[in-house]
Amino acid sequence: MTDRRLAWLFVLPAVGLVALVAIFPLGWTLWESLHLHDLRMPWRGRPFVGLENYLELLGDPRFRDAMLHTLLFAAVSVSLELALGLAVALGLDRAFRGRGIVRAAVLLPWAIPTVVAALLWRFMFESQAGIVNAALVSTGVVEEPVVWFVRAATAWVPVVLADVWKATPFVALLLLAGLQGIDRSLYEAAAVDGASRWWQLRHVTLPLLKPTILVALVFRTLDAFRVFDLIYVMTGGGPGTSTEPIALYTFDALLQNLRFGYGAALSVVVFLVTFTLALIYIRWLGAGESR
């Protein structure tokens, strides 16, 4: 058995399965998005309507809002996660006693279901039983407990905090691995030359960390764009649809409103945006790394 034949034998089951459960449905979604398919109006059948769903989508204010929400959420969360993650990584960079415990503790938020994280933070920001309100009131920052989830502006706070709390460990670990790949002697040389810690950070650490930062950026942005679990559980997209991200709107269209055709079009848009972002990043990454 030649290497080539063996390779295909090895690869086919995995690739075949993935193609079946991922590619096939994706193709179906694309096809479906070109049809009118509303299960609330079954008498209309399933006629081919070309790009009509997409045109409707472009004029749909709820869609525009959802995209806006998603973009802002992604921008804010990812920036915070990168900044905090870097700080944590720098803090963990030296070996110290109890490092394993600290690492395990820091990993825990990342490892739990997003649903659990959402519930924990939702509870902490509860108006009556929430510890956050209790702290704010007892320290005199506010007089009355804040009803966080009744207004979009305040509802975003716990949502973003929960996401940052959950995702920063991953970013921190990634950056830590990158930090540990930097040759110590570079810092030593800089120190001997009289460079301050700050200077070392700016001119030695950050440039060499750039590839890792980029990887973290890719993963986090893609995840933030696809956010669903967190918001479904924390706010349900509300109040109204004011915190609704694009994935939740799609879910709503598909499984609540049973507008399969339109929902499929939304799905395709989500997919295209995600994919384009991924491609841009990969190109950026590929160009940045020396081959």
Spatial distance between the Cα atoms of 46 and 67, rounded to a whole number of angstroms: 28
Smallest gap, in angstroms, from Cβ of residue 61 to other proteins? 20
Give me the amino acid identity at 248: L
Q: Is 263 an interacting residue with respect to other proteins (CB under 8 A)?
A: yes
Q: How far is the CB of 181 from other proteins (least distance, A)?
A: 8
Total residues interacting with other proteins, rule: CB under 8 A = 92
Residue with tokens 């973290």: 216
Binding mask 90-129 for other proteins (x = CB under 8 A): -xx-x-x---xxxxxxxxxx-xxxxxxx-xxx-xx-x-xx
Q: Which is nearer to other proteins, 76 or 134 (CB)?
A: 134
For residue 145, give every residue at least 6 positions away whose Cβ sits within 8 Å of its Cβ, in sequence order, or none.
127, 128, 130, 133, 134, 136, 137
Where does this chain touch other proteins (CB under 8 A) — which range of 62-70, 72-80, 195-203, 248-256?
Answer: 248-256
Convert residues 197-216 into a mask of x (bound to other proteins by CB under 8 A) and - (unbound). --------------xx--x-
**Contact string 215-234 vs other proteins (x = CB under 8 A):** x---x--x--xx-xx--xx-
Cα–Cα distance between 178 and 172 in angstroms, integer?
10
Q: Cα(223)–Cα(164) distance, rounded to whole angstroms? A: 12
3-class secondary structure, 1: coil
Residues from 19 through 48 that contact other proteins (CB under 8 A) = 21-26, 28-29, 32
Cα–Cα distances (Å) from 29 to 156, 177, 195, 268, 270, in that order, read: 31, 39, 57, 7, 12
- Residue from 181, 183, 188, 283 touching other proteins (CB under 8 A): that is 181
Per CB under 8 A, the segment of 74-82, 147-155, 183-191, 267-275 that binds other proteins is 267-275
268 contacts other proteins (rule: CB under 8 A) = yes
> Shortest approach of other proteins to residue 214 CB, angstroms?
9
Cβ–Cβ < 8 Å for 77, 164: yes
